[in-house]
Amino acid sequence: MRRTILGQVGLCSAVLLLTACVAPRSGTSSRDQGVASTTGLVVSTDAIASDVGAAILRRGGNAVDAAIATAFALAVTHPAAGNIGGGGFMVIRTPSGEATTIDYREVAPQRSTPTMYVGADGTIDRALTAQGYLAPGVPGTVRGLELAHRRFGVLPWRDIVRPAAALASDGITLTASLAASLNGQLRGSMGRFPSSVAAYAKPGGGTWVAGDRLVQPDLGRALRTIADEGPEAFYRGWIADSMVADIQRNGGIITHADLAAYRAVERAPVRGSFRGYEIIGMPPPSSGGIAVIQMLNLVEPMGLERSGRWSPRTLHHLIEVRRLAFLDRARYLGDPDFAAIPTAKLLDPGYAATLRASIDSSRAASSVALGRDIVTVPTDRESDETTHFSVIDGAGMAVSNTYTLEASYGSKAVVRGAGFLLNNEMGDFNKLPGLTNLTGDIGTAPNLIAPGKRMLSSMSPTIVTRDGAVVLITGSPGGRTIINTVFDVVLNVTLFGMSGREAVDAPRLHHQWLPDAATFEAAAVDSSTLLALRAMGHSVRAQGRQGDAHSIVVDPRTGIAYGINDRRSADSKASR
């Protein structure tokens, strides 16, 4: 009989993980702990996809099987970011405590050059990476899911991919939010691409409304082929032929050789410790794992829990640690196969102590002054449209997965005859060597474009353990805000004692070094706190929602897992 999550926490300390020591500013009752289970959970941005993954768990699949099924289902139900034409990262922890990661980030095609997106006037031509056929990197999702299945899957590949194929072929019922999303895209730049209109426009014309049925026959055929013939069909079969023909017909540079050469990579995770918890994160080319651990190292001895979660002192210090971590991100991080990444230094608590000594406890630092060695002249950014899901099974295997097309609906271009969207991930490279400016462009060497190179990412799938057992699985979309959303959720649980629901619902803060401004979700702090922060020299402003942290928290006293869907996402669900 499979062990339950409850059975694998016998050595856990009686940490009061689910007892709040501060009042949540979201107004959520601490009694609302999420969907409880001892046999497994899937939490994602889409209810249908979560249900698909949970069904795989009930059939005897493990957390990796369920994650793969969920990922393929999201390619059907959440086309803004769910994908087979993009890439991402997966962090896995087995019931025995082994932890590893799958890097299936896209790579630059072999015909790429460092200045391929620089116009004749010497400036970045952002339209070339915003949409169209020159914007995609070589897709990695299918190879990444294949590698995860080969290493850890227990059910047959066909059985965990076929549910997504059926969803595409049989159709899904549109929610109000997905209907509005499709309508907006078709009215906008996606409407420029005939193959995308064919895939997503309402048959017979008109606009989509909630309750309409979206059928995707070409995507269904592609997914059935991947299910029945295996992942190789995506990289060498008719799907690859369709992809290359469509890209090259429209001025792109991905070739059959690029697809055939693509490999997902298993990498050792980055690890850190914080207040007795172990943090397991994604290594480069993700910047998220290093940045989150570095910020936790900076915070650990500050005693912020004594000041209160929303005090000016706490918020001032949380802004400053973000500023320092994002500066190091710009200086050092990129694809480790192309650049020497000082990972040990960046994760060293001693290095954090040196940085911490530079923080003025009563005054904001200047981002420009701190980074004067790399700032060149007085915006480019990662897209907010990514998606994250968390999975745990009854034996305690945990999966944290974040993947993306980059922008919402990626390049906006659907592969003719195959029904899936191409990514526009090439925009995540530093596109103009040497240009690092006040608005957020980065031009440092580690993330410049090169053939076969993986672009830097902020995706931060994270697993937190204590005394040998999982206590938190989390991650988020949101471009560079991802790192700060994950940092906030981890801090809320480990330092401020919030329940999982409180930790996910709580307002969020963002600072990314440049632009030198802190943003809070609306109503996060009161006017007197904003005035106090401004008096310290901070530029602060309110913004809309930040992130979408679908998480799982495990109570170490009982072993019960709680699935917490982020209610910032209207269609999200925790399924068991």
Residue 128 burial by Cβ neighbours in a 10 Å radius (0-12, 13-18, 19+): buried
Of 323, 316, 315, the C-alpha closest to 295 is: 323
Radius of gyration of the chain (CA): 22
Rounded to an integer, what is the distance from CA 30 to the centroid of its chain? 27
- What is the rounded distance in angstroms from the CA atom of residue 357 to the CA atom of residue 344? 20
Q: Which tokens in the block code for residue 55?
A: 């069904």
Of 211, 214, 289, 215, the C-alpha closest to 458 is: 289
Residue 361 burial by Cβ neighbours in a 10 Å radius (0-12, 13-18, 19+): exposed
- Active-site residue flag, 386: yes
Three-class DSSP category at 59: coil
DSSP letter assigned to residue 315: H
In one-letter notation, the amino acid at residue 555 is D
Of 213, 228, 195, 158, the C-alpha closest to 48 is: 213
Q: What is the DSSP secondary-structure string of 365-429?
A: PPHHHHTTTT--B------S-EEEEEEEETT--EEEEEEE-SSTTTTSPBPTTT--BPP-GGGGS
DSSP H helices, 201-275, are 217-229, 232-236, 238-249, 256-261
CB-side neighbour CA atoms (13 Å) of 181: 18
DSSP E strand boundaries for 118-229: 172-173, 213-214
194: CB partners within 8 A, 6+ apart: none
Out of 4, 45, 386, 402, pick the active-site residue: 386
12: CB partners within 8 A, 6+ apart: 466, 467, 468, 469, 556, 557, 559
- Find out whether 420 and 87 touch, Cβ atoms under 8 Å: no
Q: Which tokens in the block code for residue 494?
A: 């480990």
- Find out whether 49 and 77 touch, Cβ atoms under 8 Å: yes
What helix, strand, coil percent values describe the chain, rounded to 5? Answer: 35, 15, 45
Q: Which residues are catalytically annotated?
A: 386
